Amino acid sequence: MEKNQSLPTRKLLGIAGLGWLFDAMDVGMLSFIIAALQSDWGLSVKEMAWIGSMNSIGMAVGALVFGLLSDKIGRKQVFIITLLLFSIGSGLSAFTTTLTAFLILRFFVGMGLGGELPVASTLVSESVAPEKRGRIVVLLESFWAAGWLIAALISYFVIPSYGWQTALLLSALPAFYALYLRLKLPDSPQFLAIKKEQRPSVLENMKTVWSKQYVRQTTMLWILWFCVVFSYYGMFLWLPSVMVLKGFSLIKSFQYVLIMTLAQLPGYFTAAWFIERFGRKFVLTTYLTGTAISAYFFGTAESLALLLTSGIFLSFFNLGAWGALYAYTPEQYPTAVRGTGAGMAASFGRIGGILGPLLVGYLVAAEASITSIFTIFCASILIGVLAVIVLGKETKAKVLS
């Protein structure tokens, strides 16, 4: 117990952050791999859409199952299990020769990804002092940008020369990190403070999340998660392919997306600075509104300059908002149901992640304009903003019960 309480914040952030980085590396590479698979396997846009959506189906299942499990067996154990699941699945994907086999493995990869993210943010939230909790969780999220950056670099330098299979094998490396975590990562002191026999059943926890006491924050979170995930995966999984549709070569599109990815880091760092000064609601509403405006201009961009500028702002605002979302979510519930509440909200959000990429694929196949597609995502984000304003409660410096 003492060991868990005395673990330095910086060390905890580094351990959990590396897991987050590996997650992002896998998701980031998938957007480039989809574009490469279209060329190698002659995929239709609808088949391309199903790759992204199958990943999100797995994430929806993983967020729910592992969120519930984290309230029973602990945050640390689930963190390790999910890391192993997605890294092994990703490595095996390199050996597939058919779309069906690739899709099955993407489901299991998605399960690992979907389970790890809310559990890692919950673990960090429960292990950090209230006055710096929001900043630390946003900084945890900033490892996502580093993972995307590594993914963009691997995709730019490795995929054209060595193939997408090599890129996927590199993404299997987190399996070794998970074994290291087994020895080094402590569990949440708040979780350990609840005796095993006092932990509510899975069904009781699910009922509590929708009880009268928590129905307002649960409704807000589910709307917010759905809108954010729907727009994010719809836009970002298709970024390289959208660049190709706008007339750029595959190599050029990788290069431009790499530039846009760099903007994610200042997005996180500014959000981390603002979140303890102005609160969670301020950062969420401001950064999501910025995302909506950027999405509209990206969809309507005709020139390369406007495309790159709006793409940079899209990355900046959207990923800053993600950081605030992961800080805000665990703060809505007490320790006994925190993993369940965060996991259920993320799981419902992943339904948006299934529909977003599919929508783009089917609309592109129906010859809808990129402008109209991105306008839909713009509207979705604004609905999320409205949910936070109307239903959200400020949780800045709140002591977690």
Q: What is the DSSP string of 125-144?
A: HTTS-HHHHHHHHHHHHHHH
Q: Is the pLDDT of residue 125 over 50?
A: yes
* Domain boundaries along the sequence of the chain: 7-179+210-391
Give me the mean pLDDT over the 100-125 stretch: 90
Burial code (b: 16+ CB inside 10 Å, e: under 16) for 290-327 equals bbbbbbbbbbbbeeeeebbbbbbbbbbbbbbbbbbbbb
Q: Is the pLDDT of residue 112 over 70?
A: yes
Give me the mean pLDDT over the 182-188 stretch: 75
CA 319 from centre of chain: 9
Residue 204 φ then ψ, to 5°? -60, -40
Give percent of the chain above pLDDT 90: 36
Q: pLDDT tens digits, residue range 74-99?
A: 898 898 899 889 888 988 999 998 99
Q: pLDDT tens digits, residue range 59-77?
A: 899 999 999 999 988 898 8
pLDDT for position 3: 42
Q: pLDDT tens digits, residue range 217-231?
A: 999 999 999 999 999
The band of 345, judged by pLDDT with boundaries at 50, 70 and 90, is very high
Architecture of domain 7-179+210-391: Up-down Bundle (1.20)
Q: pLDDT tens digits, residue range 246-263?
A: 777 666 776 777 788 788
Give me the mean pLDDT over the 262-290 stretch: 92
Q: Is the pLDDT of residue 321 over 80?
A: yes
Angle CA(167)–CA(56)–CA(140) in degrees, nearest 5? 70
- The pTM assigned to this predicted structure is 0.84
**How far from 284 is each of 47, 81, 97, 191, 370, CA to CA, in Å?**
34, 31, 42, 27, 26
Could you tell me the two tokens for 270? 């500014």
